[in-house]
Amino acid sequence: MNEDVKIYDFTNKGQIDFAKYLINLEEPLQELKPIYAIDGIPVFTRGNLSVISGKAKSRKSFLISLLAARMIDDDMSCRVLLFDTEQQRILVAKTAKRIHRLLEWEEEKNNAHLKVFAMREASTQERVDFIFSAVEKLKPDFVFIDGCRDLAMDFNSIAESSELVGKIMKYSSVYNCHICLVLHENKSAETLRGHLGTELVNKAETVLQVAANENISTVSGRYTRNLPFNDFHFHINDSGLPELCEFVEKPKSNDKLKSLFNELLPVTSCLSYSVLRTKVIEKTGKSEPTAGRYIKEATNAGIIIKNNANNYYSFENNNSNRDENNLPF
């Protein structure tokens, strides 16, 4: 270590060890060790945290089962902890048995590589104390916390959220494990709930988004500090187990979009983007981003046309009542 780095006392509250946080370029760099990768791209590495996000019923818990089984199957020395703060004990037990079945373990026999905890009945502070004590004592390689919102009294509190996320970061680093947290998205948008969600996204190595489309769930890398990876899909097979699958998208019906914009843009009517977006919001009650998405989808589908003046008109209305002298060009 550089001899110029010494311990000084500038605060009269005790000595400051500057060497504790100093980057020493004379020491060999330790590469981040991936615990799980997709197509060779690291998704979960030691000393980091990640987030699984999605709407209610998007099968986030099934994704946890699938990921836990695959990372243990890839490395039989891997030790996984799973804390569920939301479900009843019997349902958490079914999750544990599901992972055993995926790994072809005996369902009625515990395995040292997987420990699952049902924490619905614990208080917020009891959950926090128990989870971090378990990480400290059991020294896992990977930790799932299904229901991160239940570790905070107020997930909109800046101070509480920052303190909680800071502690998660510290424990993942000190105990050289990866901590993955599950958090619901807001009902009206694809944002994570509260300031806690914002703080987690800012600090996460990877944010996985799960979206359900009928019987298939799609997992996307919404944010990642490493290279992006391709979406993957899974469904629940006849045995009740999550299974990777291909996804063939059904042709999307544009009937609702046609009906909406034909009503908002009658014959010869021509509206600017901002006015049209306002009308969509008033008509549907949707948010501004959703209204903008409707306009984009309708434009891409040829339902509405943007003219050279950047105004919009209905293709169908103006072509079914075609009058060359009244077209809004």
Ordered structural domains, the chain, with CATH: 34-245 (3.40.50.300), 255-320 (1.10.10.10)
Average confidence score pLDDT of the chain = 87
Of 168, 178, 176, the C-alpha closest to 225 is 178
Of 126, 118, 60, 124, the C-alpha closest to 89 is 118
Torsions phi, psi for 22 (to 5 deg): -75, 135
Question: From residue 98, how far is each of 57, 58, 93 by CA, in Å?
Answer: 17, 17, 9
pLDDT of residue 316 exceeding 80, the answer is no
Reduced to 3 states, what is the DSSP secondary structure of residue 111?
A: strand
At 154, is the pLDDT very low, low, confident or very high (cuts 50, 70, 90)? very high
**For position 195, what pLDDT does the model report?**
82
Strands of the sheet with 304-306, listed across from one edge: 271-272, 311-314, 304-306
Q: Are 54 and 60 in contact (CB under 8 A)?
A: yes
Give the C-alpha separation, 60 to 56, whole Å.
8
**For position 277, what pLDDT does the model report?**
92
Most confident of 141-155, 179-193, 297-311: 141-155
> In which residue are the tokens 């000190």 written?
174
pLDDT greater at residue 101 or residue 214: 101
3-state percent helix, strand, coil for the chain, nearest multiple of 5: 35, 25, 40
Give the C-alpha separation, 123 to 133, whole Å.
15
Burial of 93 (C-beta count, 10 Å sphere; 0-12/13-18/19+): middle
pLDDT of residue 46 exceeding 60, the answer is yes
At 193, is the pLDDT very low, low, confident or very high (cuts 50, 70, 90)? confident
pLDDT of residue 6 exceeding 80, the answer is no
How do residues 232-288 score in pLDDT, each as one tens digit?
A: 999 999 999 999 998 876 666 788 888 888 888 887 788 999 999 999 999 988 888
Reduced to 3 states, what is the DSSP secondary structure of residue 248?
A: coil
Structure tokens of 123? 């208080």
Q: Are 245 and 62 in contact (CB under 8 A)?
A: no
Torsions phi, psi for 317 (to 5 deg): -60, -45
Q: In the chain, where do the E strands start and end?
A: 7-8, 16-17, 34-38, 41-45, 49-54, 80-84, 114-118, 142-146, 178-184, 206-213, 216-224, 232-236, 242-245, 271-272, 304-306, 311-314
